Amino acid sequence: MTAATLEVTRPRRRPLGSAPLWLAAALLAAVSTVLSDRLPAWAVEYPRAWRLPIEPWISAAMKWLINDATFGLFTFQEFTRSISWLFNWLLEAAYGLLAQGFTFGKGEDALHIPHVSWIALIVVLVFFARRVGGRGLALFVAFCFLYLAVFGQWSSAMVTLASIVISVPFGVLAGLLVGIAAYRNAWVEKAVTPLLDLMQTVPVFAYLVPILFLFGFGPVAAMIATMIYAAPPMVRLTVLALRGVPEEIKEYGRMAGCSRHQHMWKVLVPAAKSGLLVGLNQVVMLSLNMVIIASMIGAGGLGFDVLHALRRLAIGEGLEAGIAITLLAIALDRLSQAAATRPPPAHGSVRDGSWLARNRLAVGALVLLLVSMAAGALVPAIAAYPEPWTVTTGKFWDEVVAWLNINLFDTITIVKTWLLVNLMLPVKEFMLALPWPVLLGLLAFAGWRLGGWRLALLPVALGAFILLTGNWEKAMITVYLCGLSVVIAAAIGIPLGIWAAGNRRRTGGTLAVIDTLQTLPSFVYLIPVIMLFSVGDFSAMIAVVAFALAPAVRYTVHGLNQVPEHLVEAGRAQGCSRRQMLWKIRMPLALPEIMLGINQTIMMALSMLVITALVGTRDLGQEVFTALAKADTGKGIVAGLCVAFIAITADRLIQAWSRRRKAQLGVA
Amino acid sequence: MTVSTGPIKLACRGVWKLFGDHAARVLAETGGAPDDAALRGAGVIGAVRDATLDVHEGEIFIIMGLSGSGKSTLVRCLSRLIEPTAGEVLFEGRDLLKADERELMDIRRHKMGMVFQHFALLPHLSVLGNVAFPLEIQGVGRATRESRAAEMIELVGLKGREDYYPRELSGGQQQRVGIARSLAVGPDIWFLDEPFSALDPLIRREMQDEFLRLQSVLKKTIVFITHDFDEAIRLADRIAIMKDGAIIQTGTPEEVVTRPATPYVAEFTRDVPRAKVVSAGVLARPGSAGPVRVPAAARIGEVAARVFDEEQPVGVDGEDGASVGVLHRQDVLDILLGREPRR
């Protein structure tokens, strides 16, 4: 090849030339922060006089809703009360069946029918598990429920299970119907999507307050909060699943002459079944995730036990109840997943025979449960696991904590203090000193580079809300805590992901661990953290990192594994070393996916931050939390929206970047 | 061919399907006949352009084109799965595009059947359930629809598999279910959208034979879509060839092969063995023949051996039984060698 052709084929400079621009922006931020003393005061600290009294407006609107709003025939309050009444009735029935038994009549002649026997319930669940998931799942389910019995968690677990049994079907049905409406009408989808974004990013605490006002303190309010929290993914997954039905099947439905109704219920919904069952699984998992938070507004059961133990710093008790929630969650997760992924029936299965023959398992289960209820009346040990047989490890854990405090206290304190002084405080001070016009400008610049003027306006508008409501400083503390946690989570998670993607065994093992970690309710992460580090920003950060680590790992593994095989082969054919293969071929291609993982990490970190308010942070999470304690609707909703807006800003920017990058790489 | 002269069952007149925001406007502004430049200028894609065709009762009408030629869009316009931007679709003489939702539903329930490339079977129903489904939609009682479905399943040779689920069947078997299902309502017009394209070559061949066997019994009016020219030649009574959304030639396989309308069509037909499409009637010349006679519709490939084996010239009979002439060995040889037939 001649010099001339080399000259021609040399790559041109990158067309965007954006690196210097970004550098200049970063420099501007740094300089303005250092020189913040010289800037006008209003630029550093948003003046109090410029705030809008949004909080009292919301509180007033809430009051109007409860006291004066009316639909003509009935008032708003009557409406909420009738909903309460319905759910309360259903819950009572479920409690009776699973936890308390039924009592008819009063006094001496009262007839008491005990609840479903623990033995019978375990037998039925194990049979079901065997059917949908094989022997392994059956053993696992047996183990989980025996733990509940042996560790004395049974009755609390049944209270929790009862509320799940009632709230999940309603959540699924509501999600399904809204999802169908959104699938059918573009305008419904347009209206619902931002609402879903908000429902999933506003911390749960924020809407606990209005729910408390509308439905009163108690299990019903807790259940409604759970449904609001758990239904959004069902809506999204319904739309996705219906869209995912092959175009030809949709066309076939029309060619067969289906009416709209037939087309939906006889063609689309059955064809989308596996996707819809994933939605069911999500609803179950999120409902269990809410168990502890729901106990703050009156749900009993395991959640209440954990919360109660945490408040008394009874680590051992909290841990046992926490594990009980986790096992319940994993068991229900595996059961619903197995049901979702179960292949459709094969020929020669249940078609023939009478109704009884086709449903003999279900009938058998029902008979067993009913008989056990009757038998429980005669032999108490059948109804409830006998108290003397229960075990507890509470003492052991309390001793462990005591030992840790005595022996490791100094070491832990040194590490903690060092990190606080050298890492956390400087970052915090920087964020607080960063003038708000500069930060908003930077975000707008990033938005403009990534997605045009619309994306530039979004962070400015959302940031303006935070400023106007006077939450800027708290928001910055949130950003600092969340940002640091995410950086640390990424620093641990991405290398872990790279390692796990190394071969199939490691991938399988790691993903199994991650799956399990993600089924832990967020509160459970607080238990060991409090054990080791007591309270404060540092503890919060550790809990957030632990909670938010999973997506960083998962998306890294996924990103690396989805690099097209032919590109990897091409690299190998050109003689890349393993290191070159990773850094020159797989990582660049996986980066957009990894960034989506970071995005998820941010979302999870923000949701965890609110919960870490329990260990004494001073950010927006604390604001939401105290609003709940004081039942201050306006304050709670505003602070909750601020958290959501931070989340939405981060989400939109990262998504835009990832989309662009994927398009550039042609791996969309 | 006789079938192509029967009454017209389905026809379309000047059908356009444009995709894009300003589709209707472009069409109006250009007086209903936009050219390439007008379409490109408006950012509109012309999936089907000014398509006109007649499908006669009882014929196999094949629409052939490469991917992106608009053949699938056209068949969806004919069944109104896609709403055409302009034009008429006449089914049994009435404009399908003017039918309201209720009427359309009725027509589809009772008069149309469609087979899809990827089978489009409902995964949650057994073979029996799938085939009975269109009847279930009509509200036919369980016993009636299941016995009708069982008949159809037997017709396509899947007897004994009634209880199987789609995922338990091979591709060829799944398409047999698709065929049985589309025939269950006894449709007047039968759409087949690349029905055998997703199958392996050997199975494809087998299914084509099966399809011809079924048609010899059922005598349906058929619109068949394919991208495979050999398949078109093999099955068609008439072929319409599409390119860039427009129909560039319509004719019998013989016409298309021997008199391609454009170089594009000629390119397709170049490798088609002439002996498979040229019929004896075309080659017949005046002369006196011996005792061996062949029908005019017979393909040269089928009768060549006899022409060379016989001492005396082989005679050709027209449809009415009268002689139309004899076959010359040189003519037959030319065809076998792939030369253009001498006139």
Q: In this predicted model, what pLDDT tens digit does every residue of B132-142 receive, in sequence order?
A: 999 999 999 99
Q: Are B172 and B199 a contacting pair, CB within 8 Å?
A: yes
Helix axes A587-611 and A537-561, enclosed angle (nearest 10): 150
As beta bridge partners, residue A113 has A102
With pLDDT > 90 as the criterion, what percentage of chain B qualifies? 46
DSSP conformational letter for A75:
B
Token readout for A235 is: 């809506």
Contact B117 A246 (CB under 8 A): no
Least confidently predicted of A338-352, A476-490, B97-111: A338-352
Contact B79 A258 (CB under 8 A): no
CATH number belonging to the domain at A156-341, selected among 1.10.730.10, 1.20.1050.10, 1.10.3720.10, 3.20.20.70: 1.10.3720.10
3-state SS, residue A298? coil
Question: What's the pLDDT at B343?
Answer: 54
| Nearest-CA distance B9 → chain A (Å) | 18
Q: Are B313 and B336 a contacting pair, CB within 8 Å?
A: no
For chain B, which residues make up each domain, given as ranges? 276-336
Residues, chain B = 343
A428 confidence band (pLDDT: 50, 70, 90): confident
Question: What's the pLDDT at A2?
Answer: 40
Q: Find chain A residues with C-beta within 8 A of B108's C-beta.
A: 254-257
- Rounded mean pLDDT, B293-322: 84
For chain A, give percent helix, strand, coil, nearest 5.
Answer: 80, 0, 15
pLDDT of A350 over the 60 cut: no
Q: Are A387 and A152 a contacting pair, CB within 8 Å?
A: yes
Q: Is the dihedral of CA A171, A172, A175, A178 positive or negative?
A: negative
Task: Please state, rounded to an integer, the average pLDDT across all residues of chain A.
Answer: 83
A196 vs A385 pLDDT, higher one: A196
pLDDT of A365 over the 90 cut: no
Contact A251 B165 (CB under 8 A): no
Q: How far apart are CA B243 and CA B199, in angstroms?
A: 24
Token readout for B315 is: 């005679």
Any alpha helices (H) in A501-586, and if so which ranges? 504-519, 522-533, 537-561, 565-573, 578-580
Contact B137 A258 (CB under 8 A): yes
- Nearest to A315, CA basis, from A524, A519, A157: A524
Question: What's the pLDDT at A394?
Answer: 77
pLDDT of A296 over the 60 cut: yes
A11 confidence band (pLDDT: 50, 70, 90): very low
B11 confidence band (pLDDT: 50, 70, 90): very high
Question: What's the pLDDT at A536?
Answer: 80
Least confidently predicted of A91-100, A141-150, B101-110: A91-100
- Who contacts A523 (Cβ-Cβ below 8 Å, separation ≥6)? A292, A293, A306, A307, A310, A322, A611
A358 confidence band (pLDDT: 50, 70, 90): low
As beta bridge partners, residue B10 has B55, B91
A218 confidence band (pLDDT: 50, 70, 90): confident
Which of B106, B124, B161 is opposite residue A273, by nearest beta carbon? Answer: B124
Q: In this predicted model, what pLDDT tens digit does every residue of B192-229 receive, in sequence order?
A: 999 999 888 888 899 999 999 999 988 999 999 999 98
Question: What's the pLDDT at A4?
Answer: 41
Q: Find chain A residues with C-beta within 8 A of B125's C-beta.
A: 270
pLDDT of A379 over the 60 cut: yes
- Who contacts A592 (Cβ-Cβ below 8 Å, separation ≥6)? A559, A657, A658, A659, A661, A662, A665, A667
pLDDT of A7 over the 70 cut: no
Closest chain A CA to residue B108: A257
3-state SS, residue B247? strand
Contact B108 A249 (CB under 8 A): no
The correct answer on CATH 3.90.950.20 for the domain covering A37-66+433-665 is no
The identity of residue A196, as a single letter, is L
Distance between alpha carbon B111 and the CA centroid of its chain, in Å? Answer: 17
Any alpha helices (H) in A10-75, and if so which ranges? 18-34, 41-44, 54-67
Q: How far apart are CA A161 and CA A332, in angstroms?
A: 10
Question: What's the pLDDT at A13?
Answer: 40
Q: In this predicted model, what pLDDT tens digit does every residue of A132-144 receive, in sequence order?
A: 888 889 999 999 9
Closest chain A CA to residue B105: A257
Given the DSSP bridges, would you call strands A102-104 and B189-193 parallel, antiparallel or unpaired? unpaired
DSSP conformational letter for B63:
E
Question: What's the pLDDT at A644?
Answer: 86
Contact B165 A262 (CB under 8 A): no
- Rounded mean pLDDT, A278-289: 87
Q: In this predicted model, what pLDDT tens digit does every residue of A529-553 receive, in sequence order?
A: 877 777 788 888 988 998 888 889 9
As beta bridge partners, residue B246 has B243
- Nearest to B50, CA basis, from B273, B242, B274, B265: B242
Of these ranges, A241-250, A373-382, A453-462, the one predicted with the greatest mean pLDDT is A241-250
Q: Are A501 and A556 a contacting pair, CB within 8 Å?
A: yes
Q: Are A242 and A279 a contacting pair, CB within 8 Å?
A: no
- Who contacts A613 (Cβ-Cβ below 8 Å, separation ≥6)? A619, A621, A622, A624, A625
Question: What's the pLDDT at A216?
Answer: 81
Question: What's the pLDDT at B2?
Answer: 46
Q: How far apart are CA B256 and CA B266, in angstroms?
A: 8
- Rounded mean pLDDT, A76-101: 84
Q: How far apart are CA A21 and CA A631, in angstroms?
A: 47
Largest pairwise CA distance in chain A: 108
DSSP conformational letter for B251:
E
pLDDT of B65 over the 50 cut: yes
| Nearest-CA distance A128 → chain B (Å) | 21
Contact A344 B165 (CB under 8 A): yes
Which of A255, A266, A347 is opposite residue B114, by nearest beta carbon? Answer: A255
Token readout for A116 is: 């479903």
Given the DSSP bridges, would you call strands B8-19 and B45-56 parallel, antiparallel or unpaired? antiparallel
- Rounded mean pLDDT, A182-190: 92
Chosen from B105, B111, B188 to mutate, greatest number of chain A CBs within 10 A: B105
DSSP conformational letter for B323:
E
A361 vs A563 pLDDT, higher one: A563
- Who contacts A290 (Cβ-Cβ below 8 Å, separation ≥6)? A204, A225, A226, A229, A230, A303, A521
Q: How far apart are CA B49 and CA B74, in angstroms?
A: 9
- Rounded mean pLDDT, B96-110: 91
Q: How far apart are CA A527 and CA A541, in angstroms?
A: 14
Consecutive H or E run containing A184: helix A154-184
Least confidently predicted of A115-129, A489-503, B80-94: A115-129
Task: Please state, rounded to an integer, the average pLDDT across all residues of chain B.
Answer: 88
Enumerate the CATH 1.10.3720.10 domain ranges in chain A, comma separated.
Answer: 37-66+433-665, 156-341
Question: What's the pLDDT at A349?
Answer: 53
The CA distances from residue A514 to A468, A500, A519, B227, B338, in Å, are 40, 11, 9, 48, 67
Question: What's the pLDDT at A9?
Answer: 40
Token readout for A345 is: 């029936």
B63 confidence band (pLDDT: 50, 70, 90): very high
Token readout for A158 is: 């049944």
DSSP conformational letter for A12:
P
3-state SS, residue B6? coil
Distance between alpha carbon A644 and the CA centroid of its chain, in Å? Answer: 14
Contact A262 B137 (CB under 8 A): yes
- By CB atoms closer than 10 A (0-12, 13-18, 19+), residue B124 is middle
Q: Find chain A residues with C-beta within 8 A of B119's C-beta.
A: 248
Q: In this predicted model, what pLDDT tens digit does every residue of B228-277 receive, in sequence order?
A: 988 998 899 999 999 999 999 999 998 898 888 999 999 888 888 888 88
pLDDT of A238 over the 70 cut: yes
- Rounded mean pLDDT, A352-357: 62
A570 confidence band (pLDDT: 50, 70, 90): confident
With pLDDT > 70 as the criterion, what percentage of chain B qualifies? 97
The CA distances from residue B59 to B71, B186, B319, in Å, are 18, 16, 17
DSSP conformational letter for B92:
T
3-state SS, residue A488? helix
pLDDT of A470 over the 90 cut: no
Q: In this predicted model, what pLDDT tens digit does every residue of A16-41 receive, in sequence order?
A: 446 777 787 778 777 777 777 777 77
Contact B109 A259 (CB under 8 A): no
Q: Find chain A residues with C-beta within 8 A of B124's C-beta.
A: 270-271, 273, 344
Least confidently predicted of A342-346, A397-401, A523-527, B279-283: A342-346
Contact B105 A257 (CB under 8 A): yes
**Domain B276-336: what homologous superfamily?**
CBS-domain (3.10.580.10)
Token readout for A613 is: 């308010």
Name the CA radius of gyration of chain A, rounded.
Answer: 28
Query: Scanning the structure block, which residue is given the tokens 């894609």?
Result: B45
Consecutive H or E run containing B226: strand B221-226
- Rounded mean pLDDT, A369-378: 75
For chain B, give percent helix, strand, coil, nearest 5.
Answer: 40, 25, 35
- Rounded mean pLDDT, A188-216: 82
A279 vs A10 pLDDT, higher one: A279
Is some CB atom of chain B closer than 8 A to the CB atom of A263? no
Q: Are B254 and B234 a contacting pair, CB within 8 Å?
A: no
Q: How far apart are CA A494 and CA A220, in angstroms?
A: 42
**Count of Cβ atoms closer than 10 Å to residue A312 Cβ:** 10
**Count of Cβ atoms closer than 10 Å to residue A124 Cβ:** 19
b/e per residue B310-329 (b: at least 16 CB within 10 A): eeebbbbbeeeeebbbbbbe
A667 confidence band (pLDDT: 50, 70, 90): low
Q: Are B196 and B115 a contacting pair, CB within 8 Å?
A: no
Question: What's the pLDDT at A168?
Answer: 92
Token readout for A186 is: 């573009």
Closest chain B CA to residue A258: B137
The CA distances from residue A206 to A520, A622, A628, A644, B232, in Å, are 22, 11, 7, 10, 66
3-state SS, residue B49? strand
Which of B105, B109, B122 is opposite residue A249, by nearest beta carbon? Answer: B122
pLDDT of B315 over the 50 cut: yes
Question: What's the pLDDT at A668?
Answer: 55
Question: What's the pLDDT at A145?
Answer: 92
Ramachandran region, residue A529 (left: φ > 0; alpha: ψ -120 to 50; beta: rest) = alpha
- Who contacts A616 (Cβ-Cβ below 8 Å, separation ≥6)? A535, A536, A540, A622
Closest chain A CA to residue B133: A256
Chosen from B110, B111, B116, B179 to mutate, greatest number of chain A CBs within 10 A: B116
- By CB atoms closer than 10 A (0-12, 13-18, 19+), residue B225 is buried
